[in-house]
Amino acid sequence: MEDGPVTVQQQRGFHVLAKPTGALCNLDCTYCFFLSKQALYPESDFRMKDDLLETYIRQLLAAQPERVQLAWQGGEPTLMGLPFFERVVGLVEKYRTRGQYVEHSIQTNGTRLDEAWCAFFRQHDFLVGLSVDGPQELHDLYRVDKGAKGTHGQVMCAWERLQAHDVETNVLCTVHAGNVEHPLEIYEFFRDGMGARHIQFIPIVERASADMILLANIGWGTRAGKDRPLYVQSGDQVTDRSVKPEQLGRFYIDVFEEWVRRDVGQIYVQMFDVTLGAHVGHRSLCVFSPTCGNAVTLEHTGDLYSCDHYVEPAYLLGNIGTKDMAEMVASAAQRKFGADKRDTLPQYCRDCSVLFACNGGCPKDRFVMTSDGDPGLNYLCAGYKMFFEHVDRPMRLMTQLLKTDRSPAEIMQWYAVQDTAWRKQARKLGRNAACPCGSGRTTGECHAGRVA
Ligand code: SF4
Ligand code: SF4
């Protein structure tokens, strides 16, 4: 199946993730395969030039007449220094038309955020995504500097400063082999320890071919030495740091079971929001949408790639210095990239009861065989299925609440009643019996019937 041709006029609603320092970063997080992408630009100083910045902002604002999202990532974008971002807001004012609204966002490791940065973010209403992998012992496992030292202390200082300046924030937590067994510890640290209100979990899946896996296990940053491989989306093995599918499913479920009892309407966990969106018919995340292709990535040189996860030569759409960005997004190659997400789904997914919520996940993770021997199943399938099936009933209940103009937060009352009944039964059964709520956990471990 092929999408029909898309005109530039139709192709308005696209999103660009810009990397002003390319893959350059002041940290050396062990799982960060983006670090290896420096190899694509061996002669570069990894700094977006002023004339290119102006071209970018002019093209982006011209392509999106009403609401524009200007999103910066890396590498570490703050390495460009504050004057670069002051130029950004100046250029936005230069090219913004009357009535055009520009939303600024930046994803950062936080280690360079001082008072001046935080004041600037507040003044210009930046949404700041801060990377935190949980409490110190979990965060410092992989999020280390060039000397292999943990960065948790610096990140917490940044968090305090951002809060003091009342900056809008979002915590981004990667889920990997080292922290996946600690869902509640992590969630409670974000909610109670930090006071975070917006949380995003990203599973770490580092792919490698059989002949690359040993090098891949060492890492992708400068500490991996001169032999570090360039990360590309190929191979059917994963590094030791990658999360296992069932572990990921359990992680999401454990966080959900806590959230749905206490925090609906107060804490926004992207995975839960997106799943509720799928139930009510509203799509917001490319990973779980039927097609993609509207989220491109701009390198510091002006090279535009199909997606942040496909910054590799085969997915280069062109350079904004010589081609119009909107035309590249509307090109046949990019439309095919997005439509392939749906058109290459194996039959196993097409027959799946949670296809409406999952849509096969991101193509970058589709490298395992189905039980029928078809290629293209998502490596994380078992975890996704576990989670989407587990939350089906509460999601339906919240959907009903929304449809009748009530708050989904009312579901917490339903859980309170259920839990009282389950706990009564559980007490009779003792700590080690299967919980009557049907979770498959013992009454001592389960959220629903927890027996002290
Ligand atoms: S490849 Fe994956 S991350 Fe990229 S746009 Fe498609 S679904 Fe989104
Ligand atoms: S849960 Fe698995 S089978 Fe179902 S759509 Fe997702 S990846 Fe495909």
pLDDT per residue over 275-296, tens digit each? 999 999 987 799 999 999 999 9
**Mean pLDDT throughout 74-91?**
97
Residues β-bridged to residue 106: 72, 128
What spacing in Å lies between the alpha carbon of 308 and ligand 1's midpoint? 8
The question of whether 45 is a catalytic residue gets the answer: no
Whether residue 339 has its Cβ less than 6 Å from ligand 1: no
Mean pLDDT of the chain: 93
Query: For ligand 1, is residue 366 a contact (CB within 6 Å)?
Result: no
Verify whether ligand 1 is closer than 6 Å to residue 16 (CB atom).
no
126, 170 contact by CB (below 8 A): no
Confidence of residue 259 (pLDDT cuts 50, 70, 90): very high
For residue 338, give both structure tokens. Answer: 């997005």
Query: Are the C-beta atoms of residues 380 and 244 closer than 8 Å to each other?
Result: no
386 ligand 2 Cβ < 6 A: no
pLDDT the model gives residue 225: 64
Query: Mean per-residue pLDDT for 101-118?
Result: 97
Tokens at 440, concatenated? 């498959």
Q: pLDDT tens-digit profile of 90-100?
A: 999 999 999 89
Question: Please, which residues bridge with residue 131 across strands?
Answer: 172
Tell me what pLDDT residue 240 has: 96
Q: Is the pLDDT of residue 367 over 80?
A: yes
Tell me how far apart the alpha carbons of residues 264 and 368 are, in angstroms, rounded to a whole number. Answer: 35
From the CA of 358, the nearest ligand is 2
386 C-alpha vs ligand 2 centroid, how far in Å?
10
| Conformation bin of residue 302: beta by default, left when phi > 0, alpha when psi is -120 to 50 | left
Contact 364 CB / ligand 1 (< 6 Å): yes
Distance of CA 88 to the CA centre of its chain: 24
Atom of ligand 2 nearest to the CA of 359: 5
* pLDDT(13) > 60: yes
Q: Candidates 285, 289, 367, 384: which one to mutate for ligand 2, based on the most atoms within 8 Å of Cβ?
A: 384
Confidence of residue 50 (pLDDT cuts 50, 70, 90): very high
Answer whether residue 5 shows pLDDT above 90. no
Surface-to-core class of residue 8, CB atoms within 10 Å of its CB (0-12 exposed, 13-18 middle, 19+ buried): middle
Mean pLDDT (whole number) for 167-189: 98
For ligand 1, is residue 304 a contact (CB within 6 Å)? no
Within 10 angstroms of residue 92's Cβ, the number of other Cβ atoms is 18
Percentage of the chain exceeding pLDDT 70: 96
- State percent of the chain over pLDDT 90: 81
Assign 135 to helix, strand or coil.
Answer: coil
Question: How far is residue 276's CA from residue 370's CA, in Å, rounded to a whole number?
Answer: 27
Non-local CB neighbours of 143 within 8 Å, separated by 6+ positions: 27, 29, 109, 131, 133, 150, 151, 152, 155
Tokens at 185, concatenated: 């510890």
Query: pLDDT tier at 6 (50, 70, 90 boundaries)?
Result: very low
Whether residue 226 is predicted with pLDDT greater than 80 in this model: the reply is: no
- pTM here is 0.93
Kind and range of the H or E run holding 138: helix 136-139
Would you say residue 301 has pLDDT above 70? yes
Instruction: Choose, from 3, 145, 273, 308, the residue flagged as catalytic.
Output: 308
Angle among Cα 322, 62, 330 to the nearest 5 degrees reads 60
Ligand index nearest the alpha carbon of residue 345: 2
Q: Above 60 in pLDDT, residue 10?
A: no
- Taking only the tens place, the pLDDT of each residue in 371-419 is 999 999 999 999 999 999 999 999 999 999 999 999 999 999 999 999 9
Give, using CA atoms, the residue closest to atom 6 of ligand 1.
Answer: 292
From CA 305, how far away is CA 10, in angstroms rounded? 20
Q: Which atom of ligand 2 is nearest to the CA of 352?
A: 4
* CA dist 95 → 61, 63, 89 (Å): 7, 12, 10
| 307 Cβ inside 6 Å of ligand 1 | yes
